[in-house]
Amino acid sequence: MAQFLQAAIIGLSLGAQYALLALGFTLIFGILGVVNFAHGGFYMLGGYVAYSCVALLGVPYPLAVLIAVAATAALGWVFELFLLERLVDDHLATLMLTLGLYLILSNGLLQTFGPLAMEFRFPVSGAIRLGPVYVPQENLIVLAICLAAIVALWVVLYRTDLGRGLRALADDRAVAMAQGLRPKLLFPMAFALATGLAGLTGALVTPILALSPGVGDPVLATSFLTVILGGLGSLQGAALAAFAVGLVEAFCSVYFGGSIGALILFVLVLLLLVFRPTGLLGRTVRGA
Partner 1 sequence: MRNRISLFGWPELIAVLLLSCGFFVPMFTRSVLIYSVLNQVFIGVVAAQSVWIMLRMNLLSFATPAFMALGGYTVAIAGRYEITNAFVVTAGAFLVPALVAVPLGALVLRLRGTYFVLVTFVLSEIVQLLIFETPSLTGGSDGISGVPPVTLLGTDMATNRQVLQFCCGIAVLATVVTGGLTRYFRQHFAAIEENEILAESLGLVVWRYKALGFVVAAGIAGLAGFALVSMLLTAHPSSFAAAIAVDFIAYTIIGGPTSILGPLFGTGALVYATNLFGTHGQYAQGLYGILILIVMLVARGGIVGTVGLLFNRLRGARR
Partner 2 sequence: MKLALFVAGALALPAAALAQSCEVKIGAMGPMSGGAAQWGLAMLSATELAAAEVNAQGGLKMGGKSCKVTVVPYDSKYTADGAAAGSNAFAAQDIHVIIGPVGSPEATGIKPVAARNEQIAWNAAYAKNALETKYPLMFHIAPGPAAWADTVIKRAMKVFPMKSVAIIAPNDQGGTDIATVDAAAYKANGVQTTEEYYQRGTTNFAPIVTRVLATNPDVVDTASSPPGDAGVIVKQLRLAGFKGPIGRLGGPGTDEIIRVSGGIDVLQNFYWFETVPTDDPKVKAIDDQYRKLLGKDPVGGTSVWADLPAARLTLKAIAAAGTDEAQKVAAALRALPVDDPNLGKGYWGGKKQFGIAQELQFPFGVGIIKDGKNLGVERQEVTPE
Which residues are near partner 2 by CB under 8 A? 3, 6-7, 10, 13-14, 17, 104, 106-108, 110, 114-119, 121, 125-127, 129, 134, 136, 209-210, 212-215, 217-218, 221, 249-255, 257-259, 261-262
3-state secondary structure the chain: CHHHHHHHHHHHHHHHHHHHHHHHHHHHHHHHCCCCCCHHHHHHHHHHHHHHHHHHHCCCHHHHHHHHHHHHHHHHHHHHHHCHHHHCCCHHHHHHHHHHHHHHHHHHHHHHHCCCCCCCCCCCCCEEEECCEEEEHHHHHHHHHHHHHHHHHHHHHHHCHHHHHHHHHHHCHHHHHHCCCCHHHHHHHHHHHHHHHHHHHHHHHCCCCCCCCCCCHHHHHHHHHHHHHHCCCCHHHHHHHHHHHHHHHHHHHHHHCHHHHHHHHHHHHHHHHHHCCCCCCCCCCCCC
Q: How far is the CB of 21 from partner 2 (least distance, A)?
A: 11
- Find the part of the chain contacting partner 1 (CB under 8 A) among 29-37, 59-67, 189-197, 244-252: 29-37
- Find the part of the chain contacting partner 1 (CB under 8 A) among 44-52, 152-160, 177-185, 260-268: 260-268
Confirm or reject binding of residue 86 to partner 1 (CB under 8 A).
Answer: yes
What does the alpha-carbon distance between residue 29 and residue 25 come to, in Å, rounded to a whole number? 6
224, interface contact from partner 1, partner 2, none, CB < 5-8 Å by kind:
partner 1
- Find the part of the chain contacting partner 1 (CB under 8 A) among 118-126, 136-144, 186-194, 218-226: 218-226
Confirm or reject binding of residue 278 to partner 1 (CB under 8 A).
Answer: yes
Confirm or reject binding of residue 108 to partner 1 (CB under 8 A).
Answer: yes
Contacting partner 1 (CB under 8 A), which of 3, 107, 125, 179?
A: 107
Confirm or reject binding of residue 102 to partner 1 (CB under 8 A).
Answer: yes
204, interface contact from partner 1, partner 2, none, CB < 5-8 Å by kind:
none
Q: Tell me, by CB under 8 A, how many residues bind partner 1.
A: 46
Closer to partner 2 by Cβ: residue 191 or 251: 251
Q: Which residues bind partner 1 (CB under 8 A)?
A: 29, 35, 37, 83, 86-87, 90, 92-93, 95-97, 99-104, 106-108, 110-111, 217, 221, 224-225, 228, 232, 259-260, 262-263, 266-267, 269-270, 273-274, 277-279, 285-288
